[in-house]
Amino acid sequence: VEARSLTGRDLGGSPEIVLHARRERQGGWLDWLTTTDHKKIGIMYLFATFVFFIIGGAEALVMRLQLAQPNGTVVTPETYNGLVTMHGTTMIFLFVVPVLAGFGNYLIPLMIGARDMAFPRLNALSFWLLLFGGMAFYTSIFFDPPRAGWTMYAPLSDDSYSPTGGVDAWIFLIHLTGISSLMGAINFVATIQNMRAKGMSWSRMPLFAWTILVYSYLLIIALPAVATAVTMLLTDRHFGTAFFDPTGGGDPLLWQHLFWFFGHPEVYIMVLPAFGMVSEILPVFSGKPIFGYKAIAASTVAIAFLSLLVWVHHMFATPTATVVLAFFMLSSFTIAVPTGIKIFNWIATLWRGQIVFKTPLMFAAAVPALFVVGGISGVILAIFPVDWQLTDTYFVVAHLHYVLFGGSVFGIFAGLYYWFPKMSGRMLSESLGKTSFWTMFVGFNLTFLVQHSAGLSGMPRRIYDYSSDLHVGTYNLISTIGSFILGAGVLLTVINVLYSVKHGKRAGNDPWKGNTLEWFTQSPPPVNNFDVIPRIRSVEPMKDIRREVSAGVRAAETVSQPAAARSV
């Protein structure tokens, strides 16, 4: 093992060995199968979840084709209900939640200056359980997929109305991915609480690490509720219990309470880490520190806490006392305040900056632009008398996609463009990236903006066809055209990744002049991440290190490694 030492000036006694020139062992596929390295596990997470994203997206496009005009005949109602269920389940349980775990896995140890996650083997198990959960679920398409929607409301999901095994495959998925997420969450908590670099106090922790920490706590609190619910559904279906069956003394509303007690925190589980990525990316490209670091960190915690108190706003049309509805309207309102704080802080971060328009910045800046629409429609939906008109319509479909696609997925794409150079050592193509951004941005708004109007005109969600009497044909046609533009935009990024991973420009250690510690090491980082971990003196350690370099107290090689100097 040859270790090249690039010693800077003496910093507090001992010389630093900063760069590590040892090449990783190339073990082929067996190495991937047996790895416990957080970076390899992270990449496997990202690869697997993007495959599920493409599958879920294809399902959406088939639905859009069916709905392009009244009385569509592209698919049967059976297939359509299967697609509705598969699309929602895939995007939530197999894409957005685990893709964030993937980014967290790859980045958290690097960002906090750790050499791996706290429990590397548990980490590997998390990934494999996710994959097996996804596979168990998708095998159901070969016999009989579930058709009761991703919310799987009882009694429709009970054995009397869904007698085939599709719902059981879904229950398998919830349990396997649930255990995967729980173990992953415990791992993140242990890592972030115990393994931060010297000097990295809570107030110097990167905002992305804050959001992953909160994401993990939310998973630990929320997942047991859905695990309980699906176990009860399983025994209702197969062992004669009647938790959700009114003829046996049960209550269908119990399912909804348990499901949404998990389901609403789940929304913030999906959104907060994407917000964390935006909070990392905007300062780097505007050349400014993040505006109101403490307010952003505190609002993350506030949103997470409040998200546990709003679940009945999914049930405003059920037989529930008005005083309960009023409580849940007010609690839902209060979430708008910390969310608004985040959006204003992001804009203030851009204000008076020197904004460099690279692809990550564009995707990150799109997040507040699009999420504000989802936030506003969320406040409208929280007003329960208005919700009586809008719930279960395409207005809600539009709202949730502005939140989860406009908020999370655009954030995830920003993260992909920002951290791909670190993960692969190569840059993604800027021109292809920007084309992909604009195509996705236009396609997204075409698809989902008009869906508000479709819902307002009386189009319920989850219907396989609609009558021309509803006068929503034009909206649906625009939406279908938009969805294919959106799909093309996503495809451009896929092409970009596949091309650049082999042929992209060499990135070097720190192509964006980042703020956080992952840019201190090589791209891609060596197995042990860092030989020496610098002491953390602020929330922007890399700024401090660059300052030391320009002051001559640290060797320049420790932050920027020219591509030619890479050892081969």
Partner 1 sequence: MMRRALPRRRTRLVLLAALAAVAIALLVAAPGAFADALTPESGGSPNADDIDTIYKITLYVAIVIFLIVEGTLIWSLVRHRARRGGPEAAQIRGNTPLELGWTIGAALILVVLTVVTFVYLGDIKNPPPSDPDGLASQAEFASVDQPAPPAGGGPYLNIQVNGRQYLWRYDYPGDEQLFSYYEMVVPTGTTVTLDVRASDVIHSWWIPKLGGKVDGVPGHVNKTWFKIPRGKEGTYIGQCAELCGINHADMRAKVRAVTPEQFTSWAMKTREDIRRAGAALGAQRKQRAKEGELE
Catalytic residue among 313, 422, 452, 546: 313
Q: Is 266 a catalytic residue?
A: yes
Catalytic residue among 180, 286, 439, 483: 180
For 291, phi then psi, to 5°, come to -85, 120
Contacts of 544 (CB under 8 A, 6+ apart): 537, 538
Binds partner 1 (CB under 8 A): choice among 344, 430, 484, 527: 344
Catalytic residue among 20, 39, 196, 314: 314
Nearest Cα to 104, choosing from 38, 55, 31?
Answer: 38
Nearer to partner 1 (CB atom), residue 42 or residue 283: 283
Catalytic residue among 116, 280, 510, 548: 116
Tell me: does residue 324 bind partner 1 (CB under 8 A): no
Tell the smallest beta-carbon distance from residue 411 to partner 1 (Å). 15
Q: Is 293 a catalytic residue?
A: no
Binds partner 1 (CB under 8 A): choice among 164, 228, 231, 334: 334
Binds partner 1 (CB under 8 A): choice among 120, 353, 473, 526: 353
Q: Is 87 a catalytic residue?
A: yes
Q: Is 314 a catalytic residue?
A: yes
Taking the CB of residue 542, how many other CB atoms lie within 10 A of it?
Answer: 22
Q: Is 158 a catalytic residue?
A: no
CA distance readout (Å), 16 to 2, 465, 468? 16, 67, 72
Give, for 377, the enclosing helix (H) or strand (E): helix 359-382
Q: For residues 155-214, which are near partner 1 according to CB under 8 A? A: 155-156, 160-161
Q: Is 150 a catalytic residue?
A: yes
Dist. CA 359–CA 350, nearest whole Å:
15
Tell the smallest beta-carbon distance from residue 389 to partner 1 (Å). 4
Nearer to partner 1 (CB atom), residue 468 or residue 528: 468
Contacts of 153 (CB under 8 A, 6+ apart): 252, 255, 256, 259
Q: For residues 397-426, which are near partner 1 according to CB under 8 A? A: none
Q: Number of C-alpha atoms within 13 angstroms, CB side, residue 185?
A: 21
Nearer to partner 1 (CB atom), residue 389 or residue 528: 389
Dist. CA 432–CA 439, nearest whole Å:
10
Tell me: does residue 389 bind partner 1 (CB under 8 A): yes
Tell the smallest beta-carbon distance from residue 517 to partner 1 (Å). 20
Q: Is 264 a catalytic residue?
A: yes
**Which region among 12-20, 126-134, 451-459, 511-519 touches partner 1 (by CB under 8 A)?**
451-459
SS3 at position 147:
coil
Dist. CA 7–CA 9, nearest whole Å:
7
Q: What angle do CA 343, 340, 360 make, to 5 degrees?
A: 20
Tell the smallest beta-carbon distance from residue 531 to partner 1 (Å). 32
Nearest Cα to 366, choosing from 304, 288, 433?
Answer: 433
Q: Is 7 a catalytic residue?
A: no
Catalytic residue among 162, 216, 279, 479: 279
Q: For residues 218-247, which are near partner 1 according to CB under 8 A? A: 246-247
Nearer to partner 1 (CB atom), residue 169 or residue 343: 343
- 353 phi-psi bin (left φ>0, alpha ψ -120 to 50, beta other): beta
**Which region among 30-38, 47-55, 329-337, 406-414 touches partner 1 (by CB under 8 A)?**
329-337
Written as one letter, the residue type at 136 is A
Binds partner 1 (CB under 8 A): choice among 47, 143, 202, 388: 388
For 432, phi then psi, to 5°, come to -65, -40
Tell me: does residue 392 bind partner 1 (CB under 8 A): yes
Q: For residues 253-292, which are near partner 1 according to CB under 8 A? A: 253, 286-292
Nearer to partner 1 (CB atom), residue 47 or residue 388: 388
SS3 at position 393:
strand
SS3 at position 212:
helix
Tell me: does residue 442 bind partner 1 (CB under 8 A): no
Tell me: does residue 327 bind partner 1 (CB under 8 A): no
CA distance readout (Å), 232 to 148, 251, 265, 514? 17, 12, 21, 48
Contacts of 25 (CB under 8 A, 6+ apart): 31
Tell me: does residue 550 bind partner 1 (CB under 8 A): no
Dist. CA 3–CA 531, nearest whole Å:
10
Dist. CA 402–CA 377, nearest whole Å:
9
Strands (E), 383-538: none
Binds partner 1 (CB under 8 A): choice among 345, 480, 483, 515: 345
Nearer to partner 1 (CB atom), residue 136 or residue 297: 297
Q: Is 377 a catalytic residue?
A: no
Tell the smallest beta-carbon distance from residue 327 to partner 1 (Å). 12
Tell me: does residue 524 bind partner 1 (CB under 8 A): no
Angle between helical axes of 322-350 and 359-382 (0-180°, round to 10): 160
Dist. CA 283–CA 355, nearest whole Å:
9
- Number of residues near partner 1 (by CB under 8 A): 86
CB 374 within 8 A of CB 402: yes
Q: Is 180 a catalytic residue?
A: yes
Dist. CA 400–CA 409, nearest whole Å:
12
Tokens found for residue 370: 């699009």
Q: For residues 38-97, which are near partner 1 according to CB under 8 A? A: 77-78, 81, 84
Nearer to partner 1 (CB atom), residue 41 or residue 390: 390
Tell me: does residue 379 bind partner 1 (CB under 8 A): yes
Nearer to partner 1 (CB atom), residue 199 or residue 458: 458
**Which region among 26-34, 221-229, 318-326, 550-558 touches partner 1 (by CB under 8 A)?**
318-326
Tell me: does residue 380 bind partner 1 (CB under 8 A): yes
User: Which residues are part of the catalytic machinery?
Assistant: 87, 116, 150, 180-181, 264, 266, 268, 279, 313-314, 339, 342, 461
